[in-house]
Amino acid sequence: MRILLWQTAYLGDVVLTTPLIKSIRKSFPEAHIAFLGRPFIRELLEGFDIELITFNKSLKESLQLIERIRGFHVALCPHVSARSALILFLAGIPIRIGFDRSELSWLYTHRVQHLWSMHEAERNLQLLKPLGAKVWDRMPELLVSREEIEKVKEKFKLPENFLVLSPFSNFPLKEWHMGGWLELIDKLPLPPVVIGTNKDKERARIFADAGVKNLVGITSLRELISIISLSKAVISCDSAPVHIANAVNVPALSIYTATSPQYGFYPLKGYYITPNLSCSPCSPNPKRCRTGTQACLVNIGVEGVLEKLKLVLSL
């Protein structure tokens, strides 16, 4: 049996699809498994015994992809876009399993109920039900070698014990205010290491000015995973580093602003803190503030974060 897993969303979404990869392998050990996602999956999923198919979402590539995946017997699609459903349909894959809230969901042969009340990792595992899979593995996992870990320790001169801070997101309304991060840094029990992507490099200079080890925009994805695996905990807005941390068995603390743990993207190992506002939560991926105040970005206090951090560090 040839099984295709389709997830072309963001980095964190793919990390939370790894329980599905592991569960497919355990339930169907003889199956050929392929994962279709954005180009970053070649780094993220390094070490997994699966075929990796990358997709940049251009029209030309979409047409080529239809032919490339035509020979698969089963497709599992956590992604809810119309493009995903249409390409899988046009490829003629006999069994196509997606969520009932997907766009063009009627193109799937099997539709599974999408429940916000579940963690995303568990929600994805529901896609196995039509296949009668018996073995489910809930925890995300990323594979990192001892050699990679030793290299980042030396390259970035990392301290023996440290915390990773991840202040940035693809969605500005997910970001706790910078003043909160700077105040927090002064009160942390362990030295912080700040991470982020190249697009955040300019904003991150404020951390270097504060005397903090600033690795924003200078690490590869593999290096980032290794750095997180060495940390005592990750403190982050609602973004991928929370899930990367859990995938390498490191606890995480999520600081929520416009989003909420009720959407199912909270740490499976760790804790979270949420704002106390009548307009909260906003949406899973908010693009504008409904009240025009952006009050959620400054509602959470540093002392509350520190209290949750004590719990995280006791895990």
The per-residue pLDDT string of the chain (315 residues; one tens digit each, 9 = 90 and over) reads: 999 999 999 999 999 999 999 999 999 999 999 999 999 999 999 999 999 999 887 778 888 999 999 999 999 999 999 999 999 999 999 999 999 999 999 999 999 999 998 999 999 999 999 999 887 889 999 999 999 999 999 999 999 999 999 999 989 999 999 999 999 999 999 999 999 999 999 999 998 888 899 999 999 999 999 999 999 999 999 999 999 999 999 999 999 999 999 999 999 999 999 998 888 888 888 888 888 888 888 899 999 999 999 999 998
Angle at which helix 178-185 crosses helix 302-313, to 10 degrees, equals 60
Residue 143 lies inside a defined structural domain of this protein: no
Same domain, 95 and 188: no
In eight-state DSSP terms, residue 159 is: -
Same domain, 116 and 213: no
Residue 145 lies inside a defined structural domain of this protein: no
Total domains, the chain: 2
Q: Cα–Cα distances in Å, from 247 out to 100, 207, 222, 258, 267?
A: 27, 26, 13, 24, 10
Same domain, 191 and 49: no
- The reported pLDDT for the residue numbered 280 is 83
- The reported pLDDT for the residue numbered 57 is 77
- The reported pLDDT for the residue numbered 208 is 83
Range of the domain at 264: 152-313
- The reported pLDDT for the residue numbered 191 is 96
- Reported as type and span, the H/E element at residue 88 is helix 82-90
Same domain, 120 and 161: no
Q: What is the CATH number of the domain that holds 14?
A: 3.40.50.2000
- The reported pLDDT for the residue numbered 301 is 95
Rounded to the nearest angstrom, the gap between the alpha carbon of residue 76 and the centroid of all alpha carbons in its chain is 18
Same domain, 159 and 302: yes
In 119-247, where does DSSP find H-type helix?
120-125, 146-155, 178-185, 205-209, 221-230, 240-247
Same domain, 178 and 84: no
- Reported as type and span, the H/E element at residue 59 is helix 59-68
Domain finish residue from 131, 165, 195: 131
In 164-270, where does DSSP find H-type helix?
178-185, 205-209, 221-230, 240-247
- The reported pLDDT for the residue numbered 288 is 87
What is the value of pTM for the model shown? 0.95
Tens digit of each residue's pLDDT (9 = 90 or more) over 58-84: 778 888 999 999 999 999 999 999 999
Average pLDDT of the chain, as a whole number: 94
